[in-house]
Amino acid sequence: MKLKPETVRIQHNFATYCRSGISKSIPGTRQNRIHHYRRLVFNVVKSTMKQAFPITHHLLGTKEWDELIHNFFEEHDCQAPQIWKLPYELLEYAEEISLAEKLNRPYLNDLLLFEWTEIEVHTMPDEEKPEFCPTGQMLEDPLVMNPEYRLIRLDYPVHIYSASEVTAKKGNYFVLVFRDLESGKVNFMNLSVLHAYLFEKAAIDEKNLLESIEEAAEIFHINNWKQLLKNSLKLFHEFKRQKALLGFKNYSCS
């Protein structure tokens, strides 16, 4: 490297000051100016995070929130060259430092994950659009699900209840977050464990619905076959209506 160790040290000290506010001696600087750099750096990071996590920001209030962002930026080495990916690193950081426990808000990690997933699904790279037939047999034909989705599992139903109610509702919740292929709009569906299972069977294993329901009946010990069939069909018609299910692999169509 062509940089002298002294120049490297000066540059690191300058950056460290911006992150921590701790000023080591940086020769040849104007002392009444460098605080603007720290202010400008934090403006950018704070506004990015506030935009990414509006609910968490509102919930924590300015003091707790500012402290979180300051600690995050000082303690965590931000890796994303693209700042719009940085909110994911806050989510990882929160898990690392057990933020939810520290702030006595057990649902906090779920809330951060939920807010991040909306951004992720809105911005993630396009998947190749699969071929499908708009009409077909819901039970027998292989289904073509929307490939642009994330299925997340939460302990706390932060997508349904407000913070004051959510702690008492600990359980096993699934949220399907998917992107409308035409408009790019992000949609959400609250799913039970059984419904999440059926969705993944269709999306990943490419099983037809009837096979998946049969498997589900066994795994979840469901005896009321008629009711299961009826509910599952209702669910997949709803997937279709909301375009989480695009259509059918039905070769007569092409």
Site map 190..229 versus other proteins, x via CB under 8 A: ----------------------------------------
Residue ranges of alpha helices (H) inside 126-224 are 163-166, 193-200, 209-219
Beta carbons within 10 angstroms of residue 236's beta carbon: 23
Core vs surface per residue 72-90: b (16+ CB within 10 A) or e: bbeebeeeeeeeebbbbbb
Q: CB-side exposure of 202: number of CA atoms within 13 Å? A: 34
Indicate the residue among 47 and 135 with the shorter CB distance to other proteins.
47
Min dist. Cβ of residue 150 to other proteins (A): 13
Q: Which of 24, 122, 153, 234 is in the footprint of other proteins by CB under 8 A? A: 122
Q: Which of 195, 177, 197 is nearest to 185 (CA)?
A: 177
Residue 40 lies near other proteins (rule: CB under 8 A)? yes
Min dist. Cβ of residue 183 to other proteins (A): 7
Q: Specify the 3-state DSSP secondary structure of 176.
A: strand
Residue 123 lies near other proteins (rule: CB under 8 A)? yes
Residue 96 lies near other proteins (rule: CB under 8 A)? no
Contact footprint for other proteins (CB under 8 A): 1-4, 7-8, 10-12, 14-16, 18-19, 26-30, 33-34, 36-37, 40-41, 44-45, 48, 76-84, 86, 121-127, 148, 179, 183-185
